Structure 1
Amino acid sequence: MDDKQQPIIIKKIKKGGHAHHGGAWKVAYADFVTAMMAFFLLMWLLGGSSHHVREGIAEWFKNPSGTQGPGGASTSMIKMGGTLAIPRSSKLKKAPSEKRRNSFQQKDKSCDNNVSLKEDDKTEKSASEHKVETDKSLLGISDSEKAADQKRLDSLLIKLKKAIETSHALSKFKDQIFIDVTPQGLRIQIVDKKNRPMFDSSSAILKAHTRLILKKIGRIINTVPNHISITGHTDSSPFATKYIYVEYGSFEERRAYSNWELSADRANAARRELVKGGMQPGKIGQVIGLSDSILFDKTRPNSPINRRISIVVLNKETEVAIGLLAGRGGVKLKDVKKRLKAK
């Protein structure tokens, strides 16, 4: 054997088995992935929700521990089944302590509201009283003037009724003369009667008996200083002639004609007859034609009593309201002149 040859020694070592590798890291990793998935799912849901829903969620997170329903039931967004429920309203229930605090606040508010309502009532009353005083100041009529005016109209009413009963000229037509009191003053209405009309058919020409009635009434009304308003009324029957010819000097004009024109012409014819009877022309305040817009008998639009003349002896308030008494109430002349001059 060669002395230089080294012996080969084989050493066998028995290795022990490794301990079992655990799976704890897998659980942690799974939790992390689940949390990330839940986070991105939440972001996706929030991105598709409305502004009010996001406000409701924010309100919930401000006080999540105190948010309980009836009987202690939880109203958490995440239900026990694992599904995510977004609240539909931003008005979530509040904690009991907060409810008690708010109830006291609401009582205080209700007391404040009652006080403010009483103050508003006082303000409204004072405003209405101020309006009445303002209206009186605009009209410029004192209580004594109103009382004197009412006394004159009451006396005139008695005179008219007495004249209708005792006068031979008026008593024959008393079934066609009606007198009543309106907010505007004392009203005398002369109505048509079957077989006894006031005017010729479709005409503004007065019958003889109508002229007599107007002259007699005009003399009595002239005893008071009040202005009068004369209104003509027709029934609902359409005017027979659509056009009439009106004379203007040496030529005639073809003019459209209806119940509006007819009622106005009849009122003006009554005005002329009142003046002939002795009424001062300056006391005529208004001459109006109303056609069939105000029917006496609405159930029978074509009834003869709808064809009438209304004469209203105006009270002072109405005279001022429509501007018949110069310098009393309404827009002042100096203000009109000032505005026109400024332009």
Structure 2
Amino acid sequence: MAGKKDNQRPIIIKRKKVVEGGHHGGAWKVAYADFVTAMMAFFMLMWLLNATTEKQRKGLADYFSPTIAVSRASGGGDGALGGRSMSTDASQVQLGRGGITPSEANGTAAEDATLAAIEAAIMGKGGDSLVDEELLRHVTVRLTDEGLVIEFFDLPGSPLFEGEEPTHLMSRLLASVAPALREHPNALAIEAYTAAEPVVTREPMVWPLSSARADAIRRALPEADVVDGRVVRVTGHADRRPAASDPLSSRNNRIEIVVIRDRVAPRR
């Protein structure tokens, strides 16, 4: 009987229940990592506020809060976007619809006001533009340390030059911007660029061609009542510094008229 009772004795199994979390869990590590990341971002922000100028901070703010819609016009470039950039101001300038591009130019308030007045007259900021809407497709304006750069460029089917001589289109563009140039006596510089030659030649023609085009613009300025004596530099850059990724693109055929800041000494 004793042996039978022993066989009927209940067997008790104790299982240890493991509870995740507490000070032995890993959830606190995630929270701590988030805290460290937030603190690093905070100190980075404080450093940027201390290390940048008011103009640079405004540029950063404008970048993250654009106020101009992407332009509906095309700049004549290649690619799916037709030469357009997805950014607002940059796109507007590429397409000939924008104002002064953001830059690292460090000028005085008076200089910037003078250059802004020229830009506003050409691009029609706050009123009618000196340049017709059709012609504006060929124009961009940007601010640099040297001054205000007014750029005229070819579009497919609309060249600004026939060989070395300006087309009627180029003459109309010069006549359109001349009133703004006449109002301000700043010195001027003329820069000419060309598209690359499709075939490599022993004597590249892009150098004499760009130089001849720059000089043709210099000779055309007096016809628009802009005094020739204001021109302090005439340069042909050939196919250097292309504006389009394709060196053969017609967009690389362009003329730049630089309205030089008073404080900038002309380059020799």
With the shorter chain as reference, the TM-score category is 0.5 to 0.7
Give, in whole Å, the separation in 2 of the partners of 1:180 and 1:222.
Answer: 19
> Is 1:316 matched with 2:259?
no
> For 2:126 and 2:256, how far apart are their aligned partners in 1?
16
Question: How far, CA to CA, are the matches of 1:204 and 1:162 in structure 2?
Answer: 30
How many residues are aligned here?
162
Which residue of 2 is the match for residue 282 of structure 1? 229
1:172 has 2:119 as partner: no
1:271 is matched with which residue: 215, 218, 221? 218
Task: Tell me which residue corresponds to 2:196.
Answer: 236
2:125 & 2:225 partners in 1: Cα distance? 16
What is the rounded CA distance, in whole Å, between the counterparts of 1:217 and 1:310 in structure 2? 12
- State the match for 2:155 in structure 1: 193
Cα distance, 1:263 vs. partner?
Answer: 0.4
Q: Cα RMSD between the aligned structures?
A: 2.6
What does residue 160 of structure 1 align with?
Answer: 122
Tell me if structure 2 keeps the 8 A contact 1:260–1:291: yes
Match of 1:204 in 2: 164
Which of 235, 240, 249 is matched with 1:303 structurally?
A: 249
**In structure 2, do the counterparts of structure 1 residues 164 and 221 end up closer, same or farther at CA, with 3 Å as the change threshold?**
farther
Residue number in structure 1 paired with 2:182:
222
Q: How high is the TM-score relative to the length of structure 2? A: 0.55
Is 1:183 paired with 2:145? yes
Contact 2:191–2:236, Cα closer than 8 Å, also in 1? yes
Post-superposition shift, 1:179?
0.8
Task: Give the secondary-structure state (helix, strand or coil) at the position aligned to 1:230.
Answer: strand
**Residue identity in the other structure for 1:316:** D
State the Cα distance separating 1:147 from its structure 2 match: 3.3
Q: Distance in 1 between matches of 2:129 and 2:172?
A: 12
Cα 1:266/1:164, change in 2 over 3 Å: farther
- Consecutive unaligned residues of structure 1, counting only runs of 5 or more, are 1-144, 243-255, 324-343
**Unpaired stretches in structure 2, ≥5 consecutive residues:** 1-106
Q: Do the aligned residues in 2 keep the contact of 1:232 with 1:267 (CA within 8 Å)?
A: yes
Post-superposition Cα deviations, 1:12-55, rounded to whole Å, max 9, x if no partner, equal xxxxxxxxxxxxxxxxxxxxxxxxxxxxxxxxxxxxxxxxxxxx
Shift of 1:315: 0.7
How many angstroms apart in 2 are the aligned matches of 1:169 and 1:186? 17
Q: 1:168 to 1:222 in 2, by over 3 A?
A: closer
CA deviation digits over 1:56-93, x for unaligned, max 9? Answer: xxxxxxxxxxxxxxxxxxxxxxxxxxxxxxxxxxxxxx
**Pair 302,164 (structure 1): closer, same or farther in 2 beyond 3 Å:** farther
After superposing on structure 2, the runs of 4+ consecutive aligned residues of structure 1 that deviate more than 3 Å are: 163-169, 238-242
For residues 266 and 169 of structure 2, the distance between their equivalents in structure 1, rounded to whole angstroms, comes to 34
- Contact 1:165 1:174 survives alignment (8 Å): no
Separation of aligned partners in 2, 1:161 and 1:209: 17
2:130, 2:176 within 8 Å by CA — same for their partners in 1? no
Judge conservation of contact 2:164–2:212 (CA < 8 Å) in 1: yes
Aligned residue type for 1:288:
T
User: How much does 1:214 deviate?
Assistant: 0.9
Q: Report if the CA contact (8 A) 2:190-2:258 is conserved.
A: yes
Find the residue that maps to 2:148 and give its secondary structure: strand
Higher helix residue share = 1
The residue matched to 2:263 in structure 1 has which SS? helix
Tell me by how many angstroms 1:234 deviates.
Answer: 0.4
Q: Quote the Cα distance in structure 1 between the aligned partners of 2:160 and 2:126.
A: 17
Instruction: Name the TM-score, length of structure 1 as normaliser.
Output: 0.43
CA distance in 1, matches of 2:147, 2:186: 10
- Secondary structure of the structure 1 residue equivalent to 2:179: helix
User: Following TM superposition, by how much is the alpha carbon of 1:296 offset from its aligned partner in structure 2, in angstroms?
Assistant: 0.3
Secondary structure of 2:124's partner? helix
CA distance in 2: counterparts of 1:199 and 1:240, whole angstroms: 22
Mapped contact 2:243–2:251 kept (Cα < 8 A): yes
Deviation per residue, 1:143-172 (Å, 9 max, x gap):
xx9432222112211111118983586321
CA–CA separation in structure 1 for the residues paired with 2:125 and 2:255? 19
Deviation at 1:210, TM superposition (A): 0.9
Q: CA offset at residue 192 of structure 1?
A: 0.4
C-alpha separation in 2, matches of 1:193 and 1:264: 21
Within-5 A mapping of 1:1-343 = 146-162=108-124, 166-167=128-129, 170-200=132-162, 203-238=163-198, 258-297=205-244, 299-318=245-264, 320=265, 322=267
Amino acid at match of 1:196: S
